[in-house]
């Protein structure tokens, strides 16, 4: 698979990717867990899951709502979690807070940035997943892949608890809610061996494409990896945030900050890395 062909495919869809991300950013999906049978995480989170389903279907994917906890997009309707690699992101967001220059739920596109609450954390990963899976429909993969979007990551991950009560976890899970290359340990997750073959596979792809020599790392926080088995946080945000720092004053522009933003060309390049990573991971797992 020629990486330049993948890059051309993704970059040609830049305008559509921006527009789909703005659709999601405009939904004020702050999670409000409750006993409400119809809206267990609030009406706005339900709207965000519905919007993700719609975007996935518009791009020829199957989308399934798992008991209002999350939506999984896949290349075919018959792909089930127990027979797939799960890739997880979330469409809920932290509360807006004070100090915004831009409207938090308008989805402003300016200077190659999409600005709004959740643009970086983590709605960009949901949109990226749709285009990644759309591309992978044309690739002869042996395994199956489901791109999940949850709706309560920011306030306790009760969405994963709800999911696991009724549905099996995929045997292998990637968490697209972190930096590259691979996070091997979290606050509540014991570190994996840096020589773990999955870690080496993913780091190898990342370093090959970027020309870096980055090593796996640990964090003091938590991702969905704290709830899911055999989970590896991997991307989808590249570390270079110079454009964000140039555009905003200190304390603005990054995730959880006022004027949260994602730099679109960085996102596109991360999508290229993810496509190549899934292709190489598929070879490792199934050949």
Cis omega before residue 20 (within 30°)?
no
235: phi > 0 → left, psi -120 to 50 → alpha, else beta; which? Answer: left
Could you tell me which residues come within 8 angstroms of residue 232 by beta carbon, excluding any fewer than 6 positions away? 172, 173, 174, 175, 182, 183, 184, 192, 198, 199, 202, 225
**Is 193 tagged catalytic?**
no
Task: List strands edge to edge, sheet with 108-110.
Answer: 108-110, 113-115, 261-263
d(CA 142, CA 127): 24
Could you tell me which residues come within 8 angstroms of residue 207 by beta carbon, excluding any fewer than 6 positions away? 181, 213, 214
d(CA 62, CA 69): 17
**Is 82 tagged catalytic?**
no
Strand partners, 90: 150
Strand partners, 229: none
Q: Which of 153, 159, 177, 257 is catalytic?
A: 153
The residues annotated as belonging to the active site are 92, 153
């Amino acid at each position: 698979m020629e990486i330049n062909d993948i890059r051309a495919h993704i970059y040609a869809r830049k305008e559509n990717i921006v527009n789909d991300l703005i659709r999601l950013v405009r939904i004020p999906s702050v999670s409000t867990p409750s006993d409400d049978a119809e809206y267990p995480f609030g009406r706005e989170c339900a709207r965000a899951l519905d919007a993700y389903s719609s975007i996935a279907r518009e791009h020829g994917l199957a989308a399934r709502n798992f008991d209002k906890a999350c939506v999984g997009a896949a290349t075919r309707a018959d792909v089930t979690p127990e027979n797939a690699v799960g890739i997880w992101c979330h469409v809920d967001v932290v509360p807006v807070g004070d100090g915004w220059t831009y409207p938090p739920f308008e989805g402003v596109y300016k200077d190659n940035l999409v600005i709004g609450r959740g643009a970086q954390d983590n709605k960009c990963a949901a949109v990226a997943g749709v285009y990644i899976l759309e591309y992978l429909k044309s690739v002869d993969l042996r395994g199956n892949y489901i791109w999940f979007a949850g709706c309560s990551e920011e306030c306790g991950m009760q969405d994963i608890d709800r999911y696991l009560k009724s549905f099996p976890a995929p045997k292998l899970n990637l968490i697209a809610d972190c930096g590259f290359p691979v996070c091997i340990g979290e606050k509540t997750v014991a570190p994996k061996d840096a020589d773990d073959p999955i870690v080496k596979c993913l780091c190898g792809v990342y370093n090959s494409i970027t020309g870096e020599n980055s090593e796996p790392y640990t964090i003091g926080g938590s991702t969905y990896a704290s709830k899911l088995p055999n989970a590896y946080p991997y991307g989808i945000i590249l570390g270079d945030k110079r454009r964000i720092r140039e555009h905003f004053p200190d304390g603005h522009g990054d995730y959880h900050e006022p004027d949260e933003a994602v730099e679109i060309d960085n996102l596109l390049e991360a999508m290229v890395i993810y496509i190549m990573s899934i292709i190489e991971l598929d070879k490792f797992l199934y050949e």
